[in-house]
Structure formats: C-alpha cells, structure tokens
C-alpha cells in the first residue's frame, strides 16, 4: 500500500531576531520538519507601547548600561550587520528563503493577528521573543503555539534564566519546549533536556547552545507540537525572574562569568 505523504505544518516564527533568533530559525529550516510561512520580528524596546527613546530609558533605568548594550548588540545591531554579512539576521534569512516578515511592536494588535491569520499557520513558534502573547495567540484548539525557553521549567520562568543561574553559581542549565499559556512560561511541557556548561562559557554562548538544542527538540516532537493541548503539566511551584538589574549584572561578573566575549561572535559568523 502506498504511504500517504503529509505536508509539514505551516509555522509562523516569533522572535526579537539577532544572533539567537537566527540560530533557532536556521535550525528549524534545516530540520525539514516545518514550513516557515511567516516571521514576526519584535520591534519593541522593553516597554509595551513605548517608543524607542522611552524604551531605551527604561532599559537603562532597570538594567544598567552593560546589559542594555549587550541586548542591543545581540539583537538590533546583529540584525543590521547580518543584512550585509549573511548571519545573525532573521530578516536576511527570511529574504533568502522567500518568507514574509512583519516587524511589530505588539503582535497582539489587529495587524499582528491578521498577519498570522493570512499565513494560515498551524503552529506559532516563539524563541527569544520579548512580547507576552494575549489569549487569542496562545495555544488553542484551532492553532497550536509553543515556546523554546532556556531553562528547565518550572524553574527559571521569565527573563534571562541563564544569566540568573550563572550569577547564583548554580549549574542546572537546560532548555524546555512548552505550550504557550496565558501566564508566562506555565504551559504544558513537550520536551526538555539538560546541558552541561563549562565555567568559561558566557551567557551568550550558553544561550546560543540552548537555542539550537531547543530547536532540535521541537523538530523531534514536531507531530506532537501541532496537536494543541498535549504535553505534561508543570508543577505550580518554581522560580521566576523579571528583567535583570544592574545589581544582577554585577553579581554575574563577581561570580567570574560574562555576558559575552569577543570570540562568541566569531562562532555565530561561521554559521551562515
């Protein structure tokens, strides 16, 4: 009997772009398990509804200069440089593969929801995305939605779990693929795996390894991912962190760790 071939699920990818978003997108495209039909690249600067100047001021006030420069370097600056260098830019990779891109400060607005509807997506995939999805875009019977999160949930919910793990001198690194629920990082878990990390590795390098590992995990459970509601529920307890503060960054460096090192960028540039 001839086996019936099924088309890969249609995916809209949500990301802030730059080095980490591009690493995930490249892995998903290479897997052959998904048809990426659209990309939503976040243009938000920390605060929902704020312009660039107000958002940048909020970054400086909350996170300090060092972290603000770091996050700008691996997202906005990397996207700009990637347009010419061929790596680190989801916009450049989308153009190469003929994928339409929406630049949005808030994907939940009618324009964002219409873009996703027009793409006829079976699955939303979020990775390194700085926007919380409202209920209409969360995992629902009519369209699945998953997130690649760089921690072993339920511990490390929220922002920058790798940074906090390093600053607290812990070693429980890992990545989780989970469904997107109304409450941040609380959806059912599809897959998770631990990662062994060398003490010389920076936050960026570990984040990159987790991003790629998470994309591979998602590809491995592609059939389950497109079946909304499936997965193992998380326990109610766990840890949560908001935006890092200048004090958190100081604690990271006192622990002998770094946000990024010059050699980290060279690693990304070898993956075009």
What are the structure tokens assigned to 19, written together? 């080095």
Evaluate if pTM is beyond 0.75. yes
Report the percentage of the chain scoring pLDDT > 70.
92
Say what the pLDDT of residue 6 is.
Answer: 77
Q: Which domains does the chain have, with CATH numbers?
A: 10-264 (3.40.50.170)
Whole-number Å distance between alpha carbons of 200 and 216: 24
Question: Greatest CA separation found in the chain?
Answer: 65
- pLDDT tens digit sequence for 60-109: 888 889 998 899 889 888 888 877 776 778 999 999 999 999 999 999 99
Say what the pLDDT of residue 117 is.
Answer: 96
Whole-number Å distance between alpha carbons of 204 and 210: 10
Using alpha carbons, select from 33, 121, 24, 41 the residue that is nearest to residue 75: 41
Say what the pLDDT of residue 1 is.
Answer: 42
Q: Is the pLDDT of residue 2 over 50?
A: no
8 A C-beta contact, residue 206 and residue 156: no
């Amino acid at each position: 009997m001839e086996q019936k071939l099924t088309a890969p699920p249609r995916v809209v990818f949500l990301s802030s772009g730059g080095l980490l978003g591009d690493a995930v997108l490249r892995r998903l495209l290479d897997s052959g398990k998904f048809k990426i039909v659209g990309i939503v690249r976040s243009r938000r600067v920390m605060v929902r509804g704020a312009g660039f100047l107000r958002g940048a001021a909020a970054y400086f006030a909350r996170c300090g200069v060092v972290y603000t420069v770091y996050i700008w370097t691996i997202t906005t600056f990397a996207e700009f440089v990637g347009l010419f260098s061929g790596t680190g830019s989801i916009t450049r990779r989308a153009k190469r593969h003929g994928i339409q891109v929406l630049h949005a400060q808030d994907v939940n607005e009618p324009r964002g929801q219409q873009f996703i509807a027009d793409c006829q997506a079976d699955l939303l995939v979020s990775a390194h995305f700085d926007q919380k999805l409202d209920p209409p875009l969360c995992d629902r019977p009519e369209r699945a939605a998953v997130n690649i999160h760089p921690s072993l949930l339920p511990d490390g919910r929220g922002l920058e779990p790798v940074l906090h793990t390093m600053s607290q001198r812990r070693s429980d690194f890992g990545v989780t693929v989970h469904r997107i629920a109304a409450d941040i990082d609380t959806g059912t878990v599809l897959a998770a795996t631990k990662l062994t990390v060398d003490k010389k590795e920076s936050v960026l390098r570990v984040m990159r390894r987790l991003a790629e590992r998470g994309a591979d995990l998602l590809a491995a459970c592609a059939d389950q991912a497109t079946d909304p509601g499936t997965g193992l529920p998380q326990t109610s307890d766990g840890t949560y962190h908001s935006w890092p503060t200048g004090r958190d960054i100081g604690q990271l460096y006192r622990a002998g760790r770094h946000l990024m090192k010059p050699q980290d960028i060279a690693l990304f540039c070898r993956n075009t």
